[in-house]
Amino acid sequence: MGFVAKIIILTFNDTEKKAVEEAIAALAEMIPLEAIQPLNSPMLESFLIRPEVLTDDDVMDILKQAFSQTGMKEVVAESVKGRVAGNPLTE
The tens digit of pLDDT for each residue in 21-64 reads 888 888 777 776 555 555 556 777 788 888 888 888 888 888 88
pLDDT score at 87: 61
What whole-number distance in Å separates Cα of residue 81 and Cα of residue 15? Answer: 28
Q: How confident is the model at residue 15 (pLDDT cuts 50, 70, 90)?
A: confident
Instruction: Note the Cα 21 to chain centre separation in Å.
Output: 13
Cα angle value 16/63/43 (rounded, 5°): 135
pLDDT score at 5: 64
Domain ranges (residues) in the chain: 14-84
Which of 51, 55, 35 has its CA nearest to residue 43?
51
What whole-number distance in Å separates Cα of residue 81 and Cα of residue 76? Answer: 8
Question: 2-11, pLDDT tens digit by residue?
Answer: 566 666 777 7
